[in-house]
Amino acid sequence: MLFLIIKWIHVLSAITAVGANITYGMWIGRVPKDPKILPFVLHNIKTIDDWIANPCYGLLLFTGLAMAFIVPITLTTPWLLTALTLYVIATIIGMAGFVPIFKKQIRLLEREGIDSPNYKAAEKQGRVPGIVTGVVVIAITFLMVVKPALWA
């Protein structure tokens, strides 16, 4: 029963974290129609990341490792090792790339406005780490569900 509760928390955390992140493109996509909402959009994305998505990603690691130890399954199992490696990569890209750029983007928007060249540069600079992190997270989700035999 404990395993099933941990698995439920794991799945719920994945739905919440990935689901929240997937909506960010839609939030940003609404801005060209009404640029006045940009501060609202950016602050809400940051709030959702800080208080919902990122804590769920932490919970995913904790519950995933707990399940691996309960089953037991070795952490060097190819699909699991690959997913853990990608998790570390996504965390590094997020914490070292996306988060600082996103914070800078918010500061520049507040100080200089949406038409500022500095804001536009920060906005452009944040796209790649944001997209790469999203793709990596989708790959992790694939590995967790499909559990492919990557090498033997």
Distance of alpha carbon 19 from alpha carbon 58, whole angstroms: 15
Q: What is the pTM of this model?
A: 0.91
Q: Report residue 151's pLDDT band, with 50, 70 and 90 as the boundaries.
A: confident
Q: How far apart are CA 54 and CA 87, in angstroms?
A: 12
pLDDT of 62:
98
Phi/psi at 61 (5° precision):
-65, -50
Mean pLDDT of the chain: 95
CB 143 within 8 A of CB 82: yes
- Can you give the pLDDT at residue 43? 96
Tokens in use for 56? Answer: 């769920």
Q: Check pLDDT > 90 for residue 14.
A: yes
Mean pLDDT of 78-85: 98
Q: Is the pLDDT of residue 152 over 80?
A: no
Domain edges within the chain:
2-146
